[in-house]
Every structure is written in structure tokens, then in C-alpha cells.
Amino acid sequence: MKMKSVLAKLSPLFESAIVVLLATIFVVSVTFAATTIGSSITTGGNVTATGWASTTNATTTDYVYVGWGVTAPAGFDYKGDLIVSDDAFINDQATTSKSLWVGSAGTANNLSMSGGDLYVQDDVEIDGDLWLVRATTTDSLYVGGNASTTGDLYVSGGTIDITTSTATTTMGLFVRPKGATSTTTMSIGDQNDHIQGCLEMVRENEYYRCYIDGDKTGIVCALGRCN
């Protein structure tokens, strides 16, 4: 009877302990399971997720930084910007309404970087076609294959050099008509009185020149180079 009385007194304590244990197990289970929030979250601090985070819509009024260890380029003011420390893949189409800068340095000397400009710091390789309205180079232009133009070709540098590295290739400059009624013209010189046209030919290090005489009545050919 004494033992029964003791157990009767301890029974409420066992019941409380079991309730606490079950509640603890439930809280731990919910904590380690996926969390779904059906309403908005407003916080003045940071939100950190060590695992995956999934959302159907995300908006930021400042910037998005993906990765680490990146030095922000010039113009990155952390207002509506996106920075990615490694590769970025776009499966469909990428559009910019202002400009595109490729490279980590360089100086855009001839571009305003607006209205759809493209600046590339180093080389560009294009395996397909390139269509241009106008092209300007401040250095050199190398064409490995054929080049054709339906318009005029102007060279302001002063020299056109036609050469080949193949000994069996005969070089030439051809001016040919396209239609039966068209004419071919090769003009050397200018209408300015102080500029005279001169045709120079060379063979085995001997130069001959041909030009219009001073009276403008004939052509003179003599030994020596054009002046």
C-alpha cells in the first residue's frame, strides 16, 4: 500500500515529463524540415540561408551580388546592379539598351558608350559573317581571304601594297568593266597644279618612271623613280 501511494504521487510528474518530451521532439522536427511562409517577410537586417532558397519572384532596389572575391568595375554604384564572380549563362537572348563592355580595362576613345555601343578591350574572332554600315581602323586591317565591295574604296594613308608570300603567284591590279557599255579608268595624280601623276615600274632594282611633260602635250618615260 505504501508503494502504491508513492507511485500515485509521482504520476503527475511523469505525465508532465512526457508532454515536455513530445513537445521538444515536435519543435525539433519542424525546425529541421522545410519551412514554408505564406506571407511577406519584412526585416531591417539580413536573411541568411545556408542551403537552397527558392522563390518565384525576387525584386531588389539596390543590387545582386553572386559569388565572392570580385573587384567592382568603374561605374558599379550598387544601385540596380548585378555582379557575378564567375560564369553567367543565358539560354535565350541578352539585350542592353545602352552599351556592352568586354574586358577588365581599356579606354573607349571613339565611343560614347550609349545607344548600343560595343567596346572590346582585346581581339575579336568571328567565325561567321560580319555586316557593317561603316568600319574604321586606327591601326591595321588584315584580310586572309577575298575582300569585295559594292561601293568605293578610299585609302587616306597614301599607300596600297599588293604582295604575296608565294613565289609562283603573279600579282596584279586589275580595273575591269562589269557591263558592255561601261568604261574602265585608272587615274594617277590630282587636278591640283602642284601634284603630278607618275607611274613607276621596277625590274631587277632598276626603276623607270612615266609622267606627263611640262607642256602637257605628251608622256615622258625616263630612268629613275618618281619624285
What is the residue-wise DSSP string for 195-224? ---EEEEEETTEEEEEEE-TTSSSEEEEES
Residue at 214 is within a domain: yes
pLDDT of residue 195: 73
Q: Which three cell numbers stand for residue 63?
A: 543590387
* Cα 7 from Cα 127, distance rounded (Å): 90
Residue at 174 is within a domain: no
Grouping H, G, I as helix, E, B as strand and the rest as coil, residue 85 is coil
State which of 21-30, 126-135, 174-183, 201-210 shows the largest mean pLDDT: 201-210
Phi then psi dihedrals of residue 11, to 5 deg: -60, -45
Mean pLDDT of the chain: 79
pLDDT of residue 10: 47
The domain of 217 spans: 197-227
Q: Which three cell numbers stand for residue 136?
A: 574604321
Residue at 164 is within a domain: no
Residue at 76 is within a domain: yes
Residue at 173 is within a domain: no
- Please give the average per-residue pLDDT across 136-145, as a whole number: 80
pLDDT of residue 201: 92
- Please give the average per-residue pLDDT across 73-90, as a whole number: 87
Q: What does DSSP assign to residue 170?
A: P
* Cα 118 from Cα 127, distance rounded (Å): 18
Residue at 167 is within a domain: no
Residue type, 212: I
- Please give the average per-residue pLDDT across 159-184, as a whole number: 76
The model's confidence at residue 7, banded by pLDDT at 50, 70 and 90, is very low
- Please give the average per-residue pLDDT across 155-174, as a whole number: 76
The count of structural domains within the chain is 3
